[in-house]
């Protein structure tokens, strides 16, 4: 299994997801500023992985901090990491967790604070892997046998500390003996499907077919897809799901064609402070991601571009939300609240 992110010799080591699949390279971050840059530049991406990176970033910050104004330094560290990407709530969840730990340790010797923060970040990582496995176990039962599963973006080991959410469900279904193959949307413009999902499923020997995003409807209409499983970046109290742009279109197509549409995500992706998905902030990314592919211009100079990185799928299209605590179904206001109790 690929090592997405690790704490190693006082530094954070992550696989460079901008270089995959052609180059398997690792980036070492020795400061919290380097972790912030890695998240912003999508060297590491995927909601749970961003959360783990943020926790490790805060821990690195604690290592860098001096005994001066520790409260002020922690504030700056957390603010810097919080400003990297706005949509995945796991980022803020992880920063809050580290902040709460720091607050409980205020006044303790700095060496002890550092040690506890580093340990906590490693616990966040270990828990994430265990959570993904639990999501996989709950979700495996929903995956139909002898069918094709469609997924969008990369909600795999690379998007988490390991195993994955949506791809975790597929891995667990395969481990349970189900005969499944995967159709991976390429996921323009950043190509997480083509570059990352195909690559990591190939490592596991799970049969995977790459399609462009605009082919999903065709394959659903012709009866090729047994179910859709995707991840999430933030889920509102009513079950609306923010995920990689294009997810909404897939969900509508799934409903039209009677294909179950499942969302797999940890409890840390729930944002029950938001009544609906309309309130989820959507990250806008650089125009060059759309006008260029791997540095090659594909649109004329001066092309006007929109590049929202995520969209929101209304909960009425979501057949079930699979978490580590079990499977939630509509009405989500009730079922999701029960999950967090
Ligand atoms: O922009 P990205 O690559 O960070 O977006 C990732 C996704 O949209 C994933 O589907 C989501 O974070 C879930 S990952 C388990």
Tell me: the pLDDT tens digits for 69-87? Answer: 999 999 999 999 999 999 9
Judge if 59 and 112 occupy the same domain: yes
Judge if 172 and 304 occupy the same domain: yes
Ligand 1 atom nearest 50 alpha carbon: 4
End residue of a domain, out of 73, 108, 133: 133
Distance from the CA of 203 to the center of ligand 1, in angstroms? 20
- Count of structural domains, the chain: 2
CATH number at residue 246: 3.40.50.10470
Q: Quick check: pTM over 0.85? A: yes
Tell me: the pLDDT tens digits for 236-265? Answer: 999 999 999 999 999 999 999 999 999 999
Judge if 176 and 84 occupy the same domain: no
Cα separation, 295 vs 92, whole angstroms: 31
Pocket test of ligand 1: the residue of 159, 167, 213 to mutate, having most ligand atoms within 8 Å of its CB, is 159
pLDDT of residue 174: 98
- DSSP 8-state code for residue 144: P
pLDDT of residue 120: 98
Write out residues in the chain with pLDDT < 50, as ranges: none
pLDDT of residue 212: 98
- For 19, phi then psi, to 5°, come to -100, -20
Ligand 1 atom nearest 283 alpha carbon: 1
Q: What is the DSSP string of 25-37?
A: -EEEE-SHHHHHH
pLDDT of residue 1: 75
End residue of a domain, out of 133, 155, 189: 133
pLDDT of residue 77: 98
Distance from the CA of 98 to the center of ligand 1, in angstroms? 22
> Can you say how many angstroms the Cα of residue 10 is from the centroid of all Cα atoms in its chain?
25
Cα separation, 96 vs 77, whole angstroms: 12
Distance from the CA of 45 to the center of ligand 1, in angstroms? 6
Pocket test of ligand 1: the residue of 228, 244, 264, 280 to mutate, having most ligand atoms within 8 Å of its CB, is 244
pLDDT of residue 235: 99
Distance from the CA of 112 to the center of ligand 1, in angstroms? 34
pLDDT of residue 271: 98
pLDDT of residue 303: 98
Judge if 129 and 146 occupy the same domain: no
Residue numbers of the domain that contains 308: 142-339
End residue of a domain, out of 133, 163, 178: 133
- Which are the catalytic amino acids? 233
Judge if 198 and 311 occupy the same domain: yes
Judge if 175 and 311 occupy the same domain: yes
């Amino acid at each position: 299994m690929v090592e997405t992110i690790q704490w190693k010799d006082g530094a954070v080591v992550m696989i460079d997801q901008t270089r995959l699949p052609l180059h398997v390279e690792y980036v070492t971050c020795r400061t919290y500023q380097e972790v912030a840059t890695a998240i912003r530049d999508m060297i590491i991406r995927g909601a749970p992985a961003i959360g783990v990176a943020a926790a490790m970033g805060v821990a690195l910050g604690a290592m860098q901090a001096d005994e001066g104004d520790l409260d002020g330094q922690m504030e700056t560290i957390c603010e810097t990491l919080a400003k990297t990407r706005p949509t995945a709530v796991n980022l803020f969840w992880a920063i809050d967790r580290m902040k709460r730990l720091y607050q409980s340790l205020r006044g303790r010797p700095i060496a002890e604070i550092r040690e506890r923060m580093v340990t906590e970040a490693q616990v966040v990582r270990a828990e994430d892997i265990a959570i993904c496995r639990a999501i996989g176990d709950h979700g495996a039962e929903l995956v139909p046998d002898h069918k094709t599963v469609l997924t969008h973006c990369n909600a795999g080991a690379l998007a988490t500390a390991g195993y994955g959410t949506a791809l975790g469900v597929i891995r667990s279904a395969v481990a349970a003996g189900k005969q499944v193959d995967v159709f991976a949307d390429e996921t323009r413009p950043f190509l997480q499907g083509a570059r990352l999902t195909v690559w990591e499923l190939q490592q596991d020997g799970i049969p995977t077919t790459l399609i462009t995003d605009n082919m999903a409807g065709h394959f659903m209409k012709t009866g090729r897809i047994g179910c859709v499983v995707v991840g999430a970046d933030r889920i509102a109290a009513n079950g609306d799901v923010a995920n990689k742009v294009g997810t909404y279109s897939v969900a509508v197509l799934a409903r039209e064609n009677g294909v179950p549409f499942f969302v797999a995500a940890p409890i840390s992706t729930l944002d029950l402070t938001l009544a609906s998905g309309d309130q989820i902030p959507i990250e806008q990314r650089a125009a060059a991601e759309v006008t260029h592919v791997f540095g090659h211009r594909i649109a004329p100079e001066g092309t006007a571009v929109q590049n929202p990185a995520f969209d929101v799928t209304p909960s009425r299209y979501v057949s079930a939300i699979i978490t580590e605590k079990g499977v939630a179904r509509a009405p989500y206001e009730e079922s999701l609240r029960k999950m967090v109790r």
